[in-house]
Amino acid sequence: MPRIDDYKEALRIAKEQIAGSNLHHIARKAGAKVETHEDGEVEIHLEFLNSLCRITVNPENGNVDIVGSGGEEISLTDQILIAHYLLNASGEVATNDWITFRDIPDGHFYYNAFLKRARDPFLKVFGNAPELFEKVAPLIGGVQTEDIGDIAFSFQVFPKIAVKIVLWKGDEEFPSEATILFDRNISSYLPAEDIAYMSGGVVYRMMGIARSMQK
């Protein structure tokens, strides 16, 4: 498991790369909006899981800040994910061809981590409570779809990245099952390790809301 220092170093490197990038170019490919101030400071406004974040770049000192739209703090790991999305975004349009994590390049290397971080926690909380899944998913922007499974929601994590979580209800003979799907263009926006973390982020947000509902 990475140490906090490893995360800090990963974020430092990513911020340095952002500061040295053509900000308008990377924002356009990521589906973000850009605002340039008179002093040369650049703000990138990016949708992230049903909310907005703000990436501010100071051209004089190369300082990069990643915060919520109102200046609220964002977790270190979410900052890394946001930075990596900006840096990797290809601008490629969605294919509407949904694939599993195993189909992602290098997905097999991170598959066990993906299961532990995303699929298994989802099943533990929502596998036997499909009505809770239906209640919580819309609260983080989930849109219900009827093309697969018993219950499925699509989540627009970033402007160019959607994640679909599918639940099959269990019965007396078979336990409930779930899968998490991605548009085939996902690898042109994030590497497999970040995709695994991103998937867990969606699930853990729902888990947090579910816990607050059950108190």
Q: What is the pLDDT of residues 84-133, one digit of tens each?
A: 999 999 999 999 999 999 999 999 999 999 999 999 999 999 999 999 99
102 and 75 in a common domain: no
Domain check: are 63 and 109 in the same one?
Answer: no
Taking only the tens place, the pLDDT of each residue in 165-199 is: 999 998 888 899 999 999 999 999 999 999 999 99
Domain membership of residue 202 as a residue range: 98-213
Place of tokens 């019965």: 171
Does the residue 161 lie in any domain? yes
Please indicate, yes or no, whether residues 170 and 125 belong to a single structural domain of this protein: yes
- Which residue, 39, 70, 88, sits at the end of a domain? 88
State residue 39's pLDDT score: 86
- 54 lies in the same domain as 33: yes
Same domain flag for 204 and 103? yes
Query: How many domains is the chain built from?
Result: 2
Count CB neighbours of 100 within 10 A.
Answer: 13
**Same domain assignment for residues 105 and 77:** no
| Domain final residue, candidates 24, 53, 88 | 88
Three-state SS string across 115-127, please?
HHHHHHHHHHHHC
Q: Do 58 and 138 share a domain, yes or no?
A: no
- What residue type is assigned to position 104 of the chain? I
Q: How confident is the model at residue 2 (pLDDT cuts 50, 70, 90)?
A: low
Q: What is the dihedral of CA 179, 82, 144, 133, to 10 degrees?
A: 60
Taking the model in full, what pTM does it have?
Answer: 0.93
- 3-state secondary structure at position 155: strand
Please provide the average confidence, as pLDDT, over all residues in the chain.
Answer: 94
Beta strands in the chain (DSSP E): 33-36, 42-47, 52-57, 64-68, 98-99, 143-145, 151-158, 161-168, 177-183
Mean pLDDT of 140-149: 93
